Amino acid sequence: MNGHDVMSAQEVVLENADAVARHVAAFLLEKACEARGIFRIALSGGSTPKKLYTLMAAPSYASLFPWKKVQFFFGDDRFVPADSPDSNRGMVQDILFSKVKVPTANIHPMPDRGDPDEAARAYEAELKKAYGADRLIPNKPLFDMVLLGLGENGHTASLFPRQPALEETTRWVAPCVPDDAPHTRLTLTYPAIASSRYVLFLVTGTSKAEVLERVRAGDPAEPASHIRSDGQIEWIVDRQAAGQPQE
């Protein structure tokens, strides 16, 4: 069933964060292997996906993964140098890319210096070059898969509450200066995320239970509620985030 929006999206509730990471790793391996040609993925940052990236770096998994056909993009990043502890690109480089045989040309970090608006436009140009068109075409997804987290204030990627980026309907990448988070950021916009075969939300921990409930109900005040996909949206959550008692 197509989960074009977050309310109708399928939800998978798993025992804990490790089970979420294992589920997503298996799903990603399956989809990347079955894809004909290039597979484009937008990675999420923050702490939740670290377990996933660690699993992907394990030799037993890395030896099966089709690194040469997968192009790695970022759903967002903080506008800080790669060696900053706050850099999503730096985090993925340390945990995953430094440990596997992924071609450097397959890794597309967001720019992290200069003028944020120009940097956003530069990343958008890189996406358009990879996509092969200057506008998003229905049923021609920009991404095969987009990984997203969920912040306690309802943000996802770096689509934060009360930010102009939430209103963006033409740009694929926008700068964002959250009033409730450190650092200027670059983020994919709603249209870019919607141009996808799969959007997977990875949400774990009791601290996310309330915001997850609001977003699943489609609360319009939560930026994550406005995520759409031309393909499928799936919630991959643990029991804590789902507000279910641990067995």
Ligand X SMILES: O=C(O)[C@H](O)[C@@H](O)[C@H](O)[C@H](O)COP(=O)(O)O
Which one, 46 or 243, has the nearer CB to ligand X?
Answer: 46
Q: Does 98 bind ligand X (CB under 6 A)?
A: no
Burial class (CB in 10 A: 0-12, 13-18, 19+), 149: buried
H or E stretch covering 247 = none
Of the listed pieces 10-18, 45-53, 113-121, 161-169, which binds ligand X according to CB under 6 A? 45-53
Which one, 32 or 224, has the nearer CB to ligand X?
Answer: 224
What SS3 state is found at 42?
Answer: strand
- Least separation, in Å, of the C-beta of 187 and ligand X? 8
Helices and strands: H and E segment counts in the chain: 7, 9
In sequence order, what are the residues at sequence separation of 6 or more whose Cβ sits closer than 8 angstroms to the Cβ of residue 39? 31, 32, 66, 69, 70, 71, 144, 145
Which one, 35 or 84, has the nearer CB to ligand X?
Answer: 84
Q: Does 88 bind ligand X (CB under 6 A)?
A: yes
In sequence order, what are the residues at sequence separation of 6 or more whose Cβ sits closer than 8 angstroms to the Cβ of residue 175? 79, 116, 117, 119, 120, 165, 184, 185, 186, 187
Place of tokens 């959250």: 178
Q: Does 189 bind ligand X (CB under 6 A)?
A: no
H or E stretch covering 50 = helix 50-57
Which one, 35 or 54, has the nearer CB to ligand X?
Answer: 54
Nearest residue (beta carbon) to ligand X: 149
Q: Does 47 bind ligand X (CB under 6 A)?
A: yes
Which one, 53 or 65, has the nearer CB to ligand X?
Answer: 53
Q: Does 156 bind ligand X (CB under 6 A)?
A: yes
Which one, 40 or 51, has the nearer CB to ligand X?
Answer: 51
Q: Does 46 bind ligand X (CB under 6 A)?
A: yes
x/- mask, ligand X, residues 111-150, rule CB under 6 A, reads --------------------------------------xx
Do the bridges between strand 185-188 and strand 173-176 make them parallel or antiparallel, or are there none, so unpaired? Answer: antiparallel
Of the listed pieces 6-14, 43-51, 89-97, 107-115, which binds ligand X according to CB under 6 A? 43-51
CB 131, CB 124: distance < 8 Å: no
Q: Using CA atoms, how far apart are residues 243 and 218, in angstroms rounded to an integer? A: 17
Which residues would be at the binding site for ligand X (CB under 6 A)? 44-48, 76, 88, 149-151, 155-158
